[in-house]
């Protein structure tokens, strides 16, 4: 998995995206599948980000020079909600547990459904109109296809966490 800092072009909202590879990001972006979580814009690009270079396991950390004592700062009450940083929101332990539970529920749901890839919209439509028998499916659809399905009264929902297509899995 690779993490990119992303930014929507019209409003400059910054957010983080996890992808199987750089190619996976490019493919999803070109199909309109990468959208800003704040404003919903699909005009998203990679934002500048500092590289994350890890030290070799056999390297010792750089010795640090003693620092001067910082000037006393006025006491400011801690914010009630988690603060946002450039690397994303700081999650409370409860929120982290909720995300783990949602990821586990998604994994269980995907076990009992069939991957249909880019034919998702066609398969969902065929099931809705009785052309084929109903079964749980998951796959890929553009934002436009998902909107059209919803307008036709076809129940679809986005997958909350990235899914690697079976053909690309190790």
Angle at 147 between CA 142 and CA 149, to 5 degrees: 95
Q: What is the pLDDT of residue 98?
A: 86
User: Tens of pLDDT along the chain (170 residues)?
Assistant: 788 889 988 788 888 888 888 888 888 888 888 888 888 888 988 887 766 666 666 666 666 555 555 555 555 554 454 444 555 567 788 888 888 888 888 888 888 888 898 899 999 999 999 999 999 998 888 889 988 998 999 988 888 777 777 777 66
Q: What is the pLDDT of residue 132?
A: 92
The candidate with the shortest Cα–Cα distance to 155, out of 119, 127, 117, is 127
Q: What is the pLDDT of residue 127?
A: 92
Task: Report CA torsion sign: 45, 50, 55, 56.
Answer: positive
Question: The whole model's pTM is what?
Answer: 0.45
Separation between Cα atoms, residue 142 and residue 33, nearest integer Å: 6
Q: What is the pLDDT of residue 126?
A: 93
Task: Report CA torsion sign: 109, 114, 115, 120.
Answer: negative
């Amino acid at each position: 998995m690779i993490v990119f800092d992303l930014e929507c072009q019209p409003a400059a909202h910054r957010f983080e995206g996890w992808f199987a590879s750089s190619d996976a990001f490019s493919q999803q972006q070109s199909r309109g599948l990468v959208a800003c979580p704040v404003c919903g814009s699909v005009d998203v690009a990679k934002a500048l980000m500092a590289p994350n270079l890890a030290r070799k396991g056999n390297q010792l950390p750089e010795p640090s020079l003693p620092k001067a004592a910082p000037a006393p700062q006025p006491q400011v009450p801690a914010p009630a909600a988690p603060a946002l940083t450039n690397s994303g929101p700081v999650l409370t332990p409860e929120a982290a547990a909720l995300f783990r539970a949602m990821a586990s529920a998604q994994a269980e749901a995907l076990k009992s459904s069939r991957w249909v890839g880019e034919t998702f919209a066609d398969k969902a439509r065929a099931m809705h109109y009785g052309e084929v028998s109903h079964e749980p499916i998951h796959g890929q659809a553009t934002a436009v296809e998902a909107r059209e399905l919803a307008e036709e009264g076809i129940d679809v929902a986005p997958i909350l966490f990235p899914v690697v297509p079976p053909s690309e899995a190790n």
